[in-house]
Structure 1
């Protein structure tokens, strides 16, 4: 088997090392860095930087790429006097600053506070596909399994200086975009294109880049792009999310080739599954895609691993995924870690400081 390549984009906060508050210096950091432009880019807000890995065949290669990209971003942040933090939302209050670009400024004008408050950091996974037909087959068949990826990656419990009550509040804020969230099955490339054209024809979003579905066909690469995860505190957790995502894609393609129809679960149920995953992360019940009834998060993730077991084994990833999941369950998600630091210190600046220490390679 030729293992599909996988690549990861991660978004990070730029924070004051003393106060923990986000600093609007992303454009300055980009101006002074000499990194490859594909490795380090800006985002909607000046308080952010985004990294990107090269397409990778092995999880070891991906882990090395993630650590290298984080090191590059941390160095660029340090050059302008700030720290890099793998936080999917800012624990401390912030008034975000829109980056100086015509597109971002138009987004802010058109979407108001939804855009201004969208200081959120995600982890986007790209998996190679051979054709648009494969890609749409994947989109239709991975829908039931995207919510558990939110739970595994949950890393945003705090919002505007308070505990939000969610493990991934980023997923709630992201859902404010009119084009974001779960989607229905498409059935064919033609139907997918008609959907995209109909969205653009409404004049609501600026362009196809604002098609913020939980998963989509990439406009720039021959990949499916899965966009549900929070940026993870630990690089290992990002590798776990990427490994599960690649296995989901391969499993979906094999099912399509075998003539298996996708699960017809309604989009409304998927929204419930995503909400529950964002609410409790790995510390409560998720909806089990086998029954669409509540089940402990660890059991649902275990069911996900069983669902993709053949793909994991073919890629040589099965043992690594079990080790990565074991590590995650032992130390907890980023959200769990943030809350433990808060309970111990009562200091949100300490929460940010702890996140910066976990962001960099060990």
Structure 2
């Protein structure tokens, strides 16, 4: 089985007011600057990474460990950690130190100024960059469904956005974000990236923010479309589905099956619909490009990755976990439920802090 791992971007928040706190550097110092925890663009967020894993249980255990370790350290600073893809509360943000971040802030102005979003990035191993490019060309149509399955950002700067994943909307203000065209070869990938950097509209290759890309540091495909999930079990489920997509795409390429080649314009519409609706309304069918009930689109996803998941002994458990998620709702639905009661948006953050640390959702590999 292919190894896989995740990077989770998390908010550092005040346990009383719910507002984001610029404590990333202090948090890293408290933790002794471990290799699996890094700062991000803003000091109000922190990223924790798993090691490469083989099994779902191993991955979920590492996600739990990372979240709990961060929260223990945050408590020493009278703060907490919240797995929310955007902050519900409006507050000023603070840039992390460094010439690169300063250049980004100067060039992109309000996009950089307002940028405080937290994503879930899934890495899946590939045998070569050639296989990686073949995978990128064959998973494009399925990535909007990950937006719907992870949706966890209905509030933005104190407002109810009407979107399930407003992080997707805010993130897409960066000039390279979103789906990419068919690439075809490693040489084509390099030409595309080099030509983008030569435009001067981005600073470097690190700003190639495609929904899925070749990792610069690891022999992996990095899928970046999802919100960070409120519950760790949902992050692990999405990682399993992404591994299934990568394995399925690699098999299709080895069999000589051509990618679907859906136009980027249609993929952007599919992503917008997933961002707007989450699991609460229609989604675009990945193979047909038409609106269907969310359950139909997700059923197509399970059918597509079914053989790969079955070969790894994961289909039954993944099938149950996905439909449990549909029934219970993503973090977006749970945030809205809390917001409808007393306590306002601060209470939403308080509830998210507790959910971030929960160990729930059994995974029975024999299901």
The TM tier, using the shorter chain, reads over 0.9
Residue 206 of structure 2: aligned partner: 209
**1:315 deviation in Å?**
1.4
2:254 counterpart (254, 257, 260): 257
Q: Contact conserved, 2:56 with 2:240, CA < 8 A, in 1?
A: yes
Q: In the aligned structure 2, how far is the partner of 1:49 from the partner of 1:76? A: 12
Q: In the aligned structure 2, how far is the partner of 1:49 from the partner of 1:308? A: 32
Is 1:117 paired with 2:114?
yes
2:130 counterpart (120, 133, 144): 133
Q: Contact conserved, 1:312 with 1:318, CA < 8 A, in 2?
A: yes
Residue 246 of structure 1: aligned partner: 243
SS of the residue 1:13 aligns to: strand
Is 1:16 paired with 2:14?
yes
**1:100 deviation in Å?**
1.1
Q: Please, what TM-score do these two structures have when normalized by structure 1?
A: 0.98
**1:116 deviation in Å?**
1.4
Is 1:25 paired with 2:23?
yes
2:224 counterpart (221, 224, 227): 227
Residue 80 of structure 1: aligned partner: 77
Q: In the aligned structure 2, how far is the partner of 1:300 from the partner of 1:206? A: 37
**1:328 deviation in Å?**
1.0
**1:346 deviation in Å?**
5.4
Q: Structure 1: any 5+ residue segments left out of the alignment?
A: none
Residue 346 of structure 2: aligned partner: 349
SS of the residue 2:224 aligns to: strand
Residue 188 of structure 2: aligned partner: 191
- Aligned pairs, number: 359
**1:35 deviation in Å?**
5.6
Q: Contact conserved, 1:155 with 1:334, CA < 8 A, in 2?
A: yes
Task: Kindly provide the CA deviation profile for residues 57-102 of structure 1, in whole angstroms up to 9, marking residues without a partner as x.
Answer: 0001000010001111112211211010000000001111111111
Q: Please, what TM-score do these two structures have when normalized by structure 2?
A: 0.96
Residue 284 of structure 2: aligned partner: 287
Q: Structure 2: any 5+ residue segments left out of the alignment?
A: 360-367
**1:302 deviation in Å?**
1.4
Residue 304 of structure 1: aligned partner: 301
Residue 362 of structure 2: aligned partner: none
SS of the residue 1:345 aligns to: coil
SS of the residue 2:341 aligns to: helix
2:42 counterpart (45, 50, 57): 45
Q: In the aligned structure 2, how far is the partner of 1:231 from the partner of 1:292? A: 26
Tell me how large the CA RMSD over aligned residues is: 0.9
